[in-house]
Chains A and B, each alone.
Chain A
Amino acid sequence: MKASTVSSTAAASQPANQINVNAPRKSFLARFQRWEWMLVALVVIAIVINSRLTPYFLNAQNLSRTSADFMELGLMMLPMVFIIITGNIDLSVASNLGMCASFMAVLWNLHVNIWIAAGAGLALATLGGLLNGFLIAKVKLPALVATLGTYAFFRGIAYVLLGDQAGRGYPPAFTYLGQGKIPGTLIPFSVGLFAVLAVVFGLVLHRTTFGRYIFSIGNNENASIYAGVQVARIKMTIYIVSGFMAGLAGLVLAARFGSTRPDIGTGLELTVITAAVLGGVDINGGIGTMPGAVLSLLLIGLVRFGMGLKNVQDQVQSIAIGSLLILSILLASVARTISASGLKFNWRNIATAAAFIIVFAAFFFFFFWSRAPVLKSVFG
């Protein structure tokens, strides 16, 4: 929570941060009043419920296989946390992933060595990130518009490169990136890669001046400029890093598929942003933690896998994840409003409370109504 030391105005609007500002000496309970602990609780709940509902959940082999499904998202999410904390966004990551994988596939089809092809793909993706950074930091386009443009542009290049062709037949040494396991364990290589990079990104964000500048840009960009922070350079850097990581995710995904088509990874950017925001990263910038984002990715993965094991239709899964996101933002904002205005019995608060009670009642009703048959089959 170094953010709070940089800007108390933004911090005061977030109850979790307010604790740091108002109470330098934390009580035992106060330490647990953070979004991350809430996520930890939710992860534990998800594990308990899932393992109660299906015997296939707590199975090392199954968890190992499914965890690899979420690592490309994770790799793209790490720099996305940086970008969202600065108050920007990158919608182009999944398209950049596709561009990298397609370029690699084209070179591979031309009989270029796979590692050279992969390196070239990575370089192209990094260039893509550079283009984003240039448009946003130098040309000063709004990030939403700039990356919406490159979102279409990068995907278009992927289609131009590969057309209706596919890259296939990658050597085992390469597919190890996506399909292999760390020797002697059941842990997929991609999970290990993500874990190491998550620690690196977390340390950069929370333990370096660079990380503090990221928070300061998100809290007040102009003030940061006047304070001598190299705002343009930092923005440029994080977009380049985002491009590189999107490329890396592209290599991992192509390795997991053992092949590449130009539509590879379409639509992943929305899940990446969802994971970051659910992890407590404020879409308006200035607030967020790396552990929170990683926990929320874990939560999404566990909930999705659990629902998959119970054969919940894909549409319903999306509704569930969407509700989780909306409610998490809604709750944070309501809690903020109430704690800022104090608990007064005015009409606004009563109306809000009533709305909440209705929503909860609806959810509980839905819960019991929909689960009645499952409860019967699970508990006897």
Chain B
Amino acid sequence: MKRNTFYIVLSAVAMLSILLSACGTAATPTTSAPAPATSAPAAKRTYVLVPKNLGNPYFDAANTGAQKAATELGVTVLYQGPTTADATAQITMLNALIAQKVSGLAISADDADALVPTGQAAIAAGIPVVTWDSNIAKGGTQLFVNQADTQGIGDSQVQMALQITGPDGGEIAILSATAQAPNQNAWIEVMKTDLAKPEYAKLKLDTIVYGNDDDTTSYNQALALIKTYPALKVIVAPTSVGIAAAARAVKDQNLTGKVFVTGLGTPNALRDYVKSNIIPEFALWNVPDLGYLTIYALDAIASGKIKGNPGDTFTAGTLGSYTIAPDNTILLGKPFIFNKDVIDKFNF
């Protein structure tokens, strides 16, 4: 009997120690950024940059820009997200952040609709909410920082193609995702309009093929393009799967220097191809700048400089001045062009 009592007490002590250490771990990840409750001076604002999930190089890159903005603004930016890109976990986390009355939330939403009540609750509690990368549906956010618009991306694809062929132009082909993909189709429409303009008259669009955003299919389609059009100079692939597969096809066929690839992609996946000049340049938005602008926008609202209404103008550090569009968004800017001179500055 006594022995049992002893072990129960022993267990209780053990569990207590776990629990304490569980709470104690609070210190490890975030002490560099003091919790707002206990140690931050009242004047110092604490914002939270919420990615879709942690451990994703894309979001981590945005965080580097956000931290840069934090240093410039003299605020604290915490980087807190769920382990997996899951709305349930993100909402639980956001509720804990709302409970702390943080100074502002910058959210990349895991689910545009499911986060509406949470966003509304935050705004009702007086916490400004800005979305970036992935928006929350109407009512759940005050401002969306848009990374790119259709026109800008479509323009950049044609400009890069002409840049690669040089003023003499040449034959190009488009390797897209699926035939139904709404984003790609919108960009291709812009590209077609641009190609009809006199400045791009030297570029001849041979065909549009679809790799279905599947690596093998995209690779085979790129091979077929190379075989079918011997004079082909540039494959334009406005999809991250397609651009990597096309570059591999060019490399495998030893056509480096004869056929070039460009389009949309991420630096880490394309670094080697950029350095070996198979992809002289490709476009995407500048992800650190996205985080940087997001924090500046959030700070402008949280500090009361702007209300977050359409027409409001604020200055975002080195990026310059931004005006909120009628649909409550701001546009980061033109797509960013990655080439071998700048690619090593990025890691995502």
Which residues of A pack against B, CB within 8 Å? 15, 18-19, 23, 27, 29-30, 33, 38, 41-42, 45-46, 49-50, 53-56, 59, 61-62, 65-66, 69, 166, 168, 175, 179, 253, 256-259, 261, 263-268, 303-316, 318-320, 323-324, 327-328, 331-332, 334-335, 338-339, 343, 356, 360, 363-364, 366-368, 370-374, 377-378
A363 contacts B99, C-beta separation under 8 Å: no
Q: Which residues of B contact A56 (CB under 8 A)?
A: 37, 99-101
Q: Which residues of B contact A303 (CB under 8 A)?
A: 19, 22-23
Closest Cβ of chain B to A36, distance in Å, is: 12
A311 contacts B25, C-beta separation under 8 Å: no
Q: Which B residue sits closest to A265, measured CB to CB?
A: B88
Given A258-B116, A312-B30, A339-B7, are A69 and B1 neighbors across the interface (CB < 8 Å)? no
Given A311-B26, A324-B22, are A378 and B38 neighbors across the interface (CB < 8 Å)? yes
Given A257-B114, A313-B80, A338-B7, are A370 and B93 neighbors across the interface (CB < 8 Å)? no
Q: Which residues of A contact B92 (CB under 8 A)?
A: 66, 69, 304, 308
Taking a contact as CB atoms closer than 8 A, the residue among B86, B101, B111 that contacts A259 in the complex is B111
B37 contacts A179, C-beta separation under 8 Å: no
Q: Interface readout for B1-35 with A: 1 if CB under 8 Å, 0 if not?
A: 10111011011101111111111111111110111
Q: Which residues of A contact B78 (CB under 8 A)?
A: 311
Q: Which residues of A contact B114 (CB under 8 A)?
A: 257-259, 261, 264
Q: Which B residue sits closest to A305, measured CB to CB?
A: B96
Q: Which residues of A contact B101 (CB under 8 A)?
A: 56
Q: How far is the CA of A363 from the CA of B23 in the complex (A)?
A: 12
Most chain A CB neighbours (cut-off 10 Å) among B30, B33, B112: B30
Counting from the closest, the 4 A-B pairs by CB-CB distance are A308-B96, A259-B113, A310-B26, A320-B22
A/B interface sample: 12 pairs, CB < 8 A: A18-B4, A267-B86, A308-B92, A311-B29, A311-B97, A316-B25, A324-B19, A339-B3, A339-B4, A364-B17, A373-B27, A374-B24
Q: Which residues of B contact A267 (CB under 8 A)?
A: 84, 86, 88
Q: Which A residue sits closest to B101, measured CB to CB?
A: A56
Q: Which residues of A contact B31 (CB under 8 A)?
A: 373-374
Q: Which residues of B contact A372 (CB under 8 A)?
A: 27
A38 contacts B11, C-beta separation under 8 Å: yes
Closest Cβ of chain A to B127, distance in Å, is: 13
Q: Which residues of B contact A309 (CB under 8 A)?
A: 37, 96, 99-100
Q: Which residues of A contact B97 (CB under 8 A)?
A: 308, 311
